[in-house]
Structure 1
Amino acid sequence: MKKLKSHFWYTKNQRNGILLLLGFILIIQGAIYFIDSHVFKEVDVESTRVLAYQHEIDSLKVIALERRKPKIYPFNPNFITDYKGYQIGMSTQEIDRLMNYRSKDLFVNSSKEFQHVTKVSDSLLKVIEPYFKFPDWVKKKKKKKQREKRFDHTVKKDKSIVSTTDLNLANVNDLLSIEGVTDALSERIIAYRTKLQGFSVEGQLFEVWGLNKDLGKEILETFSIVTRPVIKKINVNTASFKEVLRIPYIDYDLCVKIFDFRDEVAELQSISELKQIEGFPLDKYDRIVLYLLAE
């Protein structure tokens, strides 16, 4: 009994400590009540500042969602997997249609063909079409078809409607009778013919800028050199620098070499002596001697 009583017996200092502790507890509880009641006032959620904060938070959420979205990189629509199709928004049925089409070893080569096979909506096609990447040969094939389509819509030219078959007398309209010859090309052919004073050999036609070999051969199937041009040759021993420079096939550097050689030998006895000039273009000799002579 004495031991039990000793547990409930406190000294004066102990009693003062307990009272002081109780006092502190009451003060703290009162302070908490006072702060809850007076310091923290009700927030007006409709205030301009709160709405601005909320708008900023919503914007950050949208940005975070966009960043979490999978990025779409250019791809060949012929090799779409189930997961890839799901990523770009295709339904299971649309993916299956493409898979069935591909199982037949067939390929889609355009956005229009992709939509025809898969039956995707116009809105979805508009979103994913910019990411389609078809092989280079498909692009080239499309361009070729476009050119052929434009060609098919043009009026076929009648080769029989020509005023002459002489290449040196043919006019613009005569040359336009050949498929593939444009207005600009026909004018260039005539301008170059004028510069040469007339075509002396058929090979000169292929020297026209922008004329490919196949089209040149087609022109020569209708036109040929009937009238040989009469070219007034220049005496290389007495001609001025400007006169020689105006000759086709002779550029400034070659003209300088010719005059240096003429000064060295004093006078050319034969036009074939030009071949002795260092760096002389032998492949153009037959063309150059059409305009030069040595007397």
Structure 2
Amino acid sequence: MAVNTIKDYFKFTREQRKGLMILFGIIVTLQLVYYFVDFNVIQKKYPDKEKWLSLQSEIDIAKFESSNKSSRTHSFNPNFISDYKGYKLGMSVQEIDRLLAFRKNNKFVNSAKEFQDVTKVSDSLLNIIAPYFKFPDWVNRKKDFKEYKDFSNTAFAKKEKIVQTDINLATKEDLIKIFGIGEAISVRILNQKEKLGGFVSMEQLKDVWGLSPEVIINLNTHFAITKLPNLNKIDINNASLKELSRFFYFKYDLAKQIVKYRSMNGDFKNIEDLIKINGFPVEKANFIALYLDF
């Protein structure tokens, strides 16, 4: 009985056999298609993307060079070295303290040698950091004057010498003689001088609108700060917000910060206290200090 039942499973009609043959043919066809046909996805090529990828190495090199440049030491006035700045330069705590104690007496170092005499830094450290020292131009003019030599007996004496005039004594007519300066710019220079009460550095001419670098070079050739003018200094610890905001380098927002800092921390002792305020023009601190009374 069981054997007959199994045989019954293998009894097919004509239509069933025909269907099985068709199914077998489909299976064989699919196997052949799978074997011979490549089903890998064809990746499209994008010329722009390939171009950017080829430039990636150059971009990485540019970023590396940019990060190196940002870490380089820039020129600075050694009179305004802070604790952190001194530490970054490799100075010891004692050397930094000597400089800060010297500056508390409202004194300034005007050369690398004076800096070493005050701080007692080693010759090796001085040779590393001295090339980055930047002193006010009126200090450099003073050095040049001391080192002046008489060439009256040489062939150079036959050339016409340019006699420099104090910029604070220059008139409108004196300024117009300089190539690149007309009546309008000469008036701007004189107005700037009046606002400040006098120039203390030739670098301040960069704040005059309309003066190109070439014209500033011409001005430095014919004019200089031969001596500091008599300034009506601002009492930084007692001046009102209105009085501070009138000063060219402070403006209202910075003056407001100065008053706030003063009320919370007490009187300013020197310019180092002022440069702690956010937004203070540190790069101009060396000549701003000359307009202030502590």
The question of a shared fold, defined as TM-score above 0.5 by the shorter chain, is answered with no
Q: Which protein is bigger by CA-based radius of gyration?
A: 1
State TM-score, norm by structure 1.
0.42
State TM-score, norm by structure 2.
0.42
Higher RCO (CA 8 Å, separation ≥ 6 residues) = 2
